[in-house]
Chain A
Amino acid sequence: MKNNNSLSNLEIGCITFFLTRCSYIGVTISLLAFLLKQDAWIGFLMGIIIGLIPLIMYLYIIKYKPDFNIFEIIESLFGKVIGKILIGIILVLIGYYTLMVFANVCYFIGSQFLHQTPIIVIAIAFMIPIVYGLFKGIKIIGRVSILLFIIAMILIFLLLIGLIPSADLNNIKPIFEHGFLNNIKDCLVFIFYNVLPLFVISVIPKDKNNSKSFNKYVIIFYLLSSFISLSTLIIILTVLGPDLAILYQYPEFHVLKQAQLIGFLNRLESILSMQWSFSFFITISVNLYFIVTAIKREVKKINIEKPIIVLLCLLLVIININILKNNTLGNEILLKYLPPFMLVGLLIVPFIIFIKIVLNSYKEKHISKS
């Protein structure tokens, strides 16, 4: 009935939802609040709109040859040597991004929930479902993402109802204090962390029957997730105020402590924050699947998949432990200020691919005409 190993459009949409939401914890919101104070939501909004451009570029690349995955497309366009170099660059960038996300998770849980537990325990605990999910395959991760999407939407809905009564619009009052151009410059923060990593959906096998609505689903879920993040950002700014949002390290977690439901449930921050763990899980799983597929193509042995997965996960854990031992300054540089420079690569390399495709199709049209 259905092809083996291909995900339906709805599942890919749900994965996009979680991929976009992943970095907004601890990274995007804190950075934007720090740079733009009360105009952070305007920067975010512009980031959403401008972020559609790289996304459409990615979708165009994916549509080029619908049966191939991204590595085969690159190799067919550029030949083997340059293709392998490009793939290598992308792998390094995605690997760095995964490292950053994983460090973020461990740091977040280690400082908010379990502050006396050594980080290695949290890292191993988080690795267990990721390894298990990767063993089962990408198809299972797609199905899980639909279930997680349903739960996440319920929790987000409860979050919004619980916090809207305490919102005070005066806190975002002087609009555009920082000027329009500053907003555009700082909205690149959003693009680098939340849009560029969407490149990994190019490796997921798609359903061939409904390929026309593939673009529609991806864009709809991207917009849905971004607007939910935007509304959360607005709530953080209006409830806490921009000064407190900069003071706290994870303002989205602290604002949950003020959520109050039905008048008496007011201690719900751990439950309402479960949906972030879901987005971390899906992001790291899909990124690791990306890397594993690339390595599997190179090595071409049959049974190499499971040991590679375990090896990669152990590598992630070990590198993370060594990073997080260092001081806060090293942490800040590695996790907050260096990534934009690295992730620009995820903008440049697909751009090169995009231009090559356009040139190729132009050449083909020219040849077919003449």
Chain B
Amino acid sequence: MKYKILISLILMFLLTGCWNYRELNEIAVCTGIAIDKDDKNYVVSVLIANSKKPEVSSKEGEAQSSIYVGSGETITSALEIIDTKIPKELYLAHLDTVVISKDVAKEGVYKTIDFLLRNPNSRRQFYVVVSKEKKANDILKILSPLESFPSENIATNIQSSLQVESSIIEIKYNEYLKTLLEDGIEPVLTSVSVIGNTTAGEKIENIEESEADTYIKLDNAAIFRDDKFISFASTNETIAINMLTNRSKYTSLNFKCGSSYFVIQISYIKTKPKVKVVDDKIEYTFDVVTNASVGEDNCNMDLTNPKVIDNLTNQTVRQLHTILSESINAFKYEYKSDVLGLGQILYRNNPKYFNQVKDKWDSIYPNVKVNLNIKVKLKTKGAAENTVRGYLSEKQ
């Protein structure tokens, strides 16, 4: 009995506690951050997700988002200035996206997002994107009719687009750090741009129309070298990065035939890299295996004929080969950045050699030889085995 009293006394001391105690209405849920720079200071905008809509009664909550801006010499001081503007405490655990402007990216991305590594609240599961506009701020302001918050808009956009095509890159903060830390691979980030008038996009009338005037579009990859932004890649190069690093499985190719197009959809991509070192000369071989199927047939081809199928397969292989080899050359000579991770592949298969040439990798990299070995398996999917036009022309 005496010990129960002792324990209860200790417990009473605990019950005064309010150290980490935060009620739900005391936190400002921050779902997006945009980082810009003007001359000397960083300009940081945060997107707060739980402000109330003014007309609705306070119990039926419809949340709306609001943006607050602060500037300071470091990111943390900018955030402190923002803290003085909002009556609640910033809470970063539900961060969805971080948008970095092009100019800041040119000077090095990591310095701006290092604070998210050390903040104990952040979960490091957000997307990092580069904005093609002058100000990253603008991206966070655009409202969209399909999602409640702009940051969520970007995040779900990335996830859903990757199911269909490969012209965007999905990178989360963890993967970005991994590519930074490892020797032999350079980071890439996806990019975002605004189509339409920015100031009109902030207003709620934008989403009340049936076709919104202003919206956000995800774009091609942004290529980095040594953590500094080099340039944006083209669509084909982005597709090449996705295919060769096993990041996505879907893409589609158009072939011209006369005045209309024939579309082949690729539904499965797997790449296996191999490397051989012969006399200080490094030679890579990428074995690319894909499954493809017919997407649109406007060219009146007879899909039951095996010869036609062979022809189509060869055309696809040739087209893929062109895309991939052009992109690889661009990475080697134009951007001079090892985004495909060739150094990492060398390290994994032959660590001793890589450790010797690690320091000179930048100069060795453009001289490596890359072979491509592409296999396409074309299956016709869907109910139709032939084209409607062909059937009609037969009837006539």
Chain A interfacial positions (CB closer than 8 Å to B) = 111-118, 121, 124-125, 128, 131-132, 135, 170, 173-174, 177, 240-241, 243-244, 247, 254, 257-258, 266-267, 306, 310
Contact = CB atoms under 8 A, between A and B. Distances in A.
Contacts of B348: 170, 173-174
B124 A114 contact: no
A118 B178 contact: no
B181 A257 contact: no
B178 A244 contact: yes
B21 to A, nearest CB: 9
B278 interface: no
Describe B's contact surface by its main secondary structure.
helix
Contact of A114 (B14, B19, B349): B19
A300 B174 CA distance: 58
Interface string B84-118: 00000000000000000000000000000000010
A269 to B, nearest CB: 8
Interface in B163-178: 174, 177-178
A121 B351 contact: no
A236 to B, nearest CB: 12
B155 to A, nearest CB: 13
B350 to A, nearest CB: 8
A258 B174 contact: yes
Given A244-B174, A310-B3, 9 more contacts: A116-B19, A121-B14, A128-B7, A135-B3, A170-B348, A177-B351, A247-B181, A257-B125, A258-B125
Contacts of B174: 240, 244, 258
B54 interface: no
Given A117-B20, A121-B14, A174-B351, A257 B123 contact: yes
Contacts of A131: 7
Nearest to B7: A128
| Highest count of chain B CB atoms <10 Å: which of A118, A135, A244 | A244
B110 to A, nearest CB: 12
30 contacts: A114-B19, A115-B20, A116-B19, A117-B20, A118-B19, A121-B19, A124-B14, A125-B14, A128-B10, A132-B7, A173-B347, A173-B348, A174-B349, A174-B351, A240-B174, A241-B182, A243-B178, A243-B181, A243-B182, A244-B174, A244-B177, A244-B178, A247-B177, A247-B181, A254-B124, A257-B125, A258-B174, A266-B125, A267-B123, A310-B3
Given A173-B348, A240-B178, A241-B182, A117 B120 contact: no
A114 B20 contact: yes
B382 interface: no
Contacts of A244: 174, 177-178, 181
Contacts of A124: 10, 13-14
B17 interface: yes
Interface string B179-196: 001100000000000000
Nearest to B93: A267
A135 B6 CA distance: 14
Nearest to A306: B3
Contacts of B123: 257, 267
- Interface pairs A-B: 10 shortest CB-CB: A173-B348, A243-B181, A117-B19, A174-B351, A115-B120, A177-B351, A114-B20, A116-B19, A241-B178, A257-B123
Contacts of B17: 117, 121
A109 B133 CA distance: 42
Contacts of B347: 173-174
A288 B117 CA distance: 37
Contacts of A117: 17, 19-20
Interface string B1-45: 001001100110110010110000000000000000000000000
Contacts of B125: 257-258, 266
Contacts of B178: 240-241, 243-244
A174 B125 CA distance: 28
Nearest to A173: B348
B115 to A, nearest CB: 15
B91 to A, nearest CB: 13
Contacts of A254: 124
A257 B120 CA distance: 13
A294 B3 CA distance: 23
Contacts of B117: 247
A174 B120 CA distance: 33
Contacts of A135: 3
A306 B3 CA distance: 9
A266 B19 CA distance: 27
A306 B6 CA distance: 13
A258 B20 CA distance: 24
A357 B11 CA distance: 49
Contacts of A118: 19
Contacts of B7: 128, 131-132
A128 B177 CA distance: 40
A276 to B, nearest CB: 17
Given A173-B348, A174-B348, A243-B181, A116 B14 contact: no
A117 B22 CA distance: 12
A112 B124 CA distance: 14
B111 to A, nearest CB: 16
Nearest to B10: A124
A125 B20 CA distance: 15
Contacts of B182: 241, 243
Interface in B349-363: 349, 351
Contacts of A128: 7, 10-11
Contacts of B6: 310
A71 to B, nearest CB: 27
Contacts of A116: 19-20
Nearest to A135: B3
A240 B14 CA distance: 38
A324 B17 CA distance: 21
A257 B20 contact: no
Nearest to A178: B351
A240 B176 CA distance: 11
Nearest to B355: A177
A194 B332 CA distance: 49
Nearest to A307: B3
Contacts of A240: 174, 178
Nearest to B123: A257
Nearest to B181: A243
A324 to B, nearest CB: 16
A254 B116 CA distance: 14
Nearest to A309: B3
B254 to A, nearest CB: 32
Contact of A112 (B120, B181, B349): B120
Interface in B316-364: 347-349, 351
A113 B20 CA distance: 9
Nearest to A241: B178
Nearest to A176: B351
Interface string B112-148: 0000010010011100000000000000000000000
